[in-house]
Structure 1
Amino acid sequence: MAEPSTSQVCAVVITYRPDPEALRALLAAVRGQVGATVVVDNSGPEHVLPIEASEPAVGAVLRQARNIGLAQAQNLGIDWARRHGYRNVLLLDQDSLPGEGMVQALLDAIGRLGAVSPVAAVGPRFHDLREARDAPFVRLGFPFNRKLWCRPDQPTIECDFLISSGALLPMAVLDDVGDMDAGLFIDNVDLEWGFRARAKGYTLHGVCAATMHHRLGDARMPLPLGLGQVTVHGPGRLYYMMRNRVRLYRMPHTPRVWVAQDLPRVAVKLFLFGVLVAPRGRNLRFMLRGLWDGWRGRQGPCPLVPAH
């Protein structure tokens, strides 16, 4: 059997008013590692994307008239890759920078692991440059998750979810599990898809030889009394974080252990962003509306933010 080739991989890059230099660096880093790159841009017509489809790093640019959300944008890119015959999809956010040889390492790992068990996706170990070390892979537990870091003798780590950016997904798995849940719009999209895949008997794995830089959250802010730092999100993002976690609670494929250990985090976030982190009143209003809309099953964009 022929070895899998990176020419069979299509990178799907989702953008929303990106930093031009960061986007060019991302496209340059992934060029040569994949067969094609499709950019799905959610910025809207008033924002000029600093790239063109004629650039050698880009196979297609799918410009959206409005922000259709991360999940639906990923689905459009996946559909483009499917129609053009690609066997694997590499999902990327605009805040990521793949390391050299990342895609080949992911592809090699999915080939080895797939010979043992059905694999839904593999992802790289990533490093937020504001942190002292790489982010761990995670296994669910109660009352706390298990954080697993790469060791020299451990090429891959089975985990319970992967962030979407940097994840390599076989098209055959997407055809079986289904595309991303567009109703979530943004936030917990990767978590929901991973839960759905695992419920169908697939596994997820982190690949230690594959590396990537990735920026999580909008900013970091020190907490009072020396309680450490918190990743800050805007009110709109907090709405989705609250709404979509409640939606996940009610999905049959969501692990009950995740629900049990996530519930206390709701109270923690209400306290952090409703009491300690400004704009407190606006944060609290958006979070409470998110919880209410999640209970009601609302989907799509946040109703508290003007459509654009």
Structure 2
Amino acid sequence: MTDDRHAAVCAVVVTHYPDSTVLQGLLASVSAQVGCVVVVDNSAEDMELPPGHADVTLIRQGRNGGLAQAQNVGLDWARQHAFDYVLLLDQDSTPDDGMVCALLDALRRLGDSARVAAVGPRFHDVLEARDAPFVKVGFPLNHKRWCDHPGQLLECDFLISSGALIPLTVIDDIGSMDESLFIDNVDLEWSFRARARGYKLYGVCAAAMQHQLGDSRRQLPFGLGQVIVHGPVRLYYIMRNRFRLYRLPHTPWIWVAQDMPRLAVKLFLFAAMIGPRARNIRFMLRGLWDGFRSKSGPCPLA
């Protein structure tokens, strides 16, 4: 390590029946960049870490308590062990060399007066041909902000949780992740909460990460592009939690206005064009109904 600040960073990796090879690459990459790695496993069966990672702390939950709950377990562990920052990671993400250094440099450049809630890397979706943009909420469409050179720090309205570097003092002020959402939109809700409290979020173009969104891609007819394919259970959470986000006081109304049509399009696509259609319909309608009733926790149909 070239910077003593790395020792103040605790990486929190949430897993759920992970691919051992992918997890091996993730741990090998991130262990060299941080002071400690904690794996919080949501698998019902005991998971073993890949060989060569005896220094990684493994917290076996023995059940799937949801992404947000597992992240909060990791946050609490980092706080109890006096770390200054947490780096959140999903099991399907792999940081590039120097990612954490670039994120820490961004926080230093921005300074305490900037009230930064989190910084995140640009990520390359392994199923896409280009990096994903950072996003500012707009109407009728979001504004996509692309990296032109490594020195850019792009202010955005939300960051995906995987790859986000967050000072623990910010967590103490804003609060932990919303466990009622279980999975999906956890990062969106926390980002909106941070923005409502006057904090800012930045994408760091010098920091890079490999990440996978969704299970696959499906080409739409008439040259309309591609859609990210999710399974029925994930579609349940997408429908339910979007409905829940629409009702939260810190969710920007401009985002609600432009997201509701997008949710309707997703409902149509997965009901009419992308299988398993009958199962998709059942899970999506139950998600909407549970969202309307403010239900939380795991999917009852899973």
TM over 0.5: yes
- Calculate the TM-score normalised by the size of structure 2: 0.96
The verdict on how the C-alpha distance between 1:108 and 1:154 changes in structure 2, with shifts beyond 3 A counting, is closer
**Aligned partner (choices 65, 68, 75) of residue 68 of structure 1:** 65
Matched, 1:294 2:288: no
- State the partner residue of 1:51: 50
- State the partner residue of 1:257: 254
Q: Post-superposition shift, 1:56?
A: 4.3
The verdict on how the C-alpha distance between 1:101 and 1:79 changes in structure 2, with shifts beyond 3 A counting, is same
- State the partner residue of 2:33: 33
- CA separation in 2, counterparts of 1:296 and 1:130? 35
Indicate conservation of the 8 Å contact 2:174/2:197, yes or no: yes
- State the partner residue of 1:138: 135
Matched, 1:178 2:175: yes
- State the partner residue of 1:23: 23
- State the partner residue of 1:122: 119
Q: Post-superposition shift, 1:132?
A: 1.6
- Calculate the TM-score normalised by the size of structure 1: 0.94
- CA separation in 2, counterparts of 1:218 and 1:73? 22
Which segments of structure 1 move beyond 4 Å, counting only runs of 4 or more?
Answer: none
- State the partner residue of 2:269: 272
- Alignment size in residue pairs: 300
Q: Deviations over 1:90-148 (max 9, x none)?
A: 00001101011100110111122134410000000010122121100000000000000
What letter corresponds to residue 185 of structure 1 in structure 2?
A: F
Indicate conservation of the 8 Å contact 1:17/1:49, yes or no: no
What letter corresponds to residue 175 of structure 1 in structure 2?
A: D
Q: Post-superposition shift, 1:219?
A: 1.0
- CA separation in 2, counterparts of 1:265 and 1:222? 17
- CA separation in 1, counterparts of 2:194 and 2:241? 18
Indicate conservation of the 8 Å contact 1:4/1:111, yes or no: no
Q: Deviations over 1:187-231 (max 9, x none)?
A: 000000000011000000000100100011011122234432211
What letter corresponds to residue 59 of structure 2 in structure 1?
A: L
- CA separation in 2, counterparts of 1:57 and 1:262? 43
Over aligned residues, Cα RMSD in angstroms? 1.5
What letter corresponds to residue 295 of structure 1 in structure 2?
A: F
The verdict on how the C-alpha distance between 1:189 and 1:4 changes in structure 2, with shifts beyond 3 A counting, is farther
- CA separation in 2, counterparts of 1:99 and 1:76? 25
Q: Deviations over 1:139-175 (max 9, x none)?
A: 0000000000011275200000000000000000000
What letter corresponds to residue 109 of structure 1 in structure 2?
A: A
Q: Which runs of 5+ in 2 are unaligned?
A: none
What letter corresponds to residue 53 of structure 2 in structure 1?
A: E
Indicate conservation of the 8 Å contact 2:41/2:47, yes or no: no
- CA separation in 1, counterparts of 2:88 and 2:112? 23
Q: Deviations over 1:35-70 (max 9, x none)?
A: 00000001112x533437x82451x11111211100
- State the partner residue of 1:103: 100
- CA separation in 2, counterparts of 1:175 and 1:50? 30
Query: Sequence identity of aligned pairs in percent?
Result: 64
Indicate conservation of the 8 Å contact 2:135/2:143, yes or no: yes
Q: Deviations over 1:236-255 (max 9, x none)?
A: 00000000011011100000
Indicate conservation of the 8 Å contact 2:43/2:64, yes or no: yes
- State the partner residue of 2:243: 246
- Secondary structure at 2:275 match in 1: coil
- CA separation in 2, counterparts of 1:185 and 1:95? 18
- CA separation in 2, counterparts of 1:226 and 1:208? 30
Q: Deviations over 1:246-279 (max 9, x none)?
A: 1011100000000000110121011100000001
Indicate conservation of the 8 Å contact 2:150/2:206, yes or no: no
Q: Which runs of 5+ in 1 are unaligned?
A: none
- CA separation in 1, counterparts of 2:269 and 2:298? 24
- State the partner residue of 1:223: 220
Q: Deviations over 1:6-39 (max 9, x none)?
A: 1000000000111101001000000121000000
